[in-house]
Amino acid sequence: MKALIPFLLALAAIALFSSAKAVDFIRQIQLIDGKTVVYDMPISNATGTVRSKPIEGNGSVFQLYAYEDPIYSPYTVADVNVGNAVHANVSLGSNLVDLNVLGLHLDINLGEDPSSSSMPKLLAEKAVGSLIPQATVTLSSADPYFPPRTRADQPYRVKIAIDRLPVPGSEVPENTPTKVRLEKSYKLYHPTLHVPAENGSGQGSYSEAFEFNQNGTYSMPSVYQNLPGTSPTRVMGEESHSAYILLGSENALAKIASSTIQIWPVSTAAIQGIQAGKLYYELPQQVQATLTDLYPDSVTYAQIYKGQPSLGQKGFTIPSSVFSINTFAPQTTVVPLQDLVNGVSDDGDYTIEILTITPFNQRQPERLTHLSFQLKRNIKVHAGITTSE
């Protein structure tokens, strides 16, 4: 007996910046009696409700697509909620349109060059059916910003809630999914555009995976990113945790939930115009600091104090150096270190530090770099005066 389930696919909170105006549609894919049936349902509004075709056979896979506007901003991000089980934050920079659905490989070609901007972008996917389990994957970090993000040296939390798995020992139809598999994948970002690389490069999956055969909520409180790169603290990209089930007699993987977290690099700083360990008879006037990849929510500044470097030491904050941001991607800038004289009293050893405050380390300052120098402005002259007749 075929299960006919009326299904409402609710599209909520689809937010696109004005620079990317998309024409959306929902694709419903079903495998009925060994044949693939595809329905496309256009979306005319940014929010609303679309009624699906009856769900038959082994269930249906629903996919949300959007087209890019010709005037494309690489920073455009769509925040999509589909139904109550899928949440995705996806940059529109991806050109991946090859799909593996219900065991069948589909090449979606709408008559244009696949590298063209006219290709639709797959934003979200969900499998539904009378016997298909439900799952919600949630990623979070010490930074409360949405979409989720963290810093390359900081952990994040993974939570998966699973429902509608059959109770062990109960009688269920053949090929009913009995497990949920959690897999982890990644995308590397362009170092200046801060979006995934074009044409799917810099993307992959990790070998680790977890399987769950019982309903419930499971947590991993401390997960560290594994983005490939020569310096683990300097990588940038995103990691996704996706829940899959085995569907149909071919045991094809179908995604039922997914969540993505952005990984931003640890900031670096360099002080120019003054040399570490050098003796100065007057304060240099052309001192500056180069701040690279500042965390999107951060306040960064320089301070000067008398003595050798000491973590936690509070000195004189150099006003011209204060740089505060609250945005969606790292920033790089150069700030002047003016009026050093206001932080200097008598001669001796002095230290300049660059500090940053972020949502991490309980919003306490973290030192990015420092240098020390000697100052000796008072010069004593020993001389004598003689006369001759």
Mean pLDDT, the chain cut into blocks of 10 residues (389 residues total): 38 36 70 71 72 69 71 34 31 32 35 48 73 91 97 98 88 83 96 84 93 96 96 97 83 86 98 97 95 98 97 95 97 95 94 98 97 85 56
The predicted structure's pLDDT at residue 379: 61
Rounded to whole angstroms, how far apart are CA atoms 56 and 361? 52
| Closest residue by Cα to residue 357 from 143, 139, 140, 147 | 143
Residues 6+ apart with CB under 8 A from 383: none
7-57 per-position pLDDT tens digit: 333 333 333 333 334 457 888 877 666 566 788 888 766 666 777 777 666
SS3 198: helix
The predicted structure's pLDDT at residue 361: 96
The predicted structure's pLDDT at residue 301: 98
| Closest residue by Cα to residue 334 from 269, 275, 265 | 269
The predicted structure's pLDDT at residue 33: 65
The predicted structure's pLDDT at residue 116: 43
Q: Would you give the distance in Å from CA 239 to the centre of its chain?
A: 7
Cα torsion 9, 10, 15, 21: sign? positive
214-253 per-position pLDDT tens digit: 999 999 999 999 999 999 999 999 999 999 988 766 677 8
The predicted structure's pLDDT at residue 224: 97
Give the domains, in start order, of the chain with CATH numbers. 8-264 (no CATH), 268-375 (2.60.40)
168-175 contact pairs (CB < 8 A, 24+): 168/213, 168/214, 172/131, 173/131, 175/58, 175/247, 175/248, 175/249
pTM of the complete model beyond 0.75: no
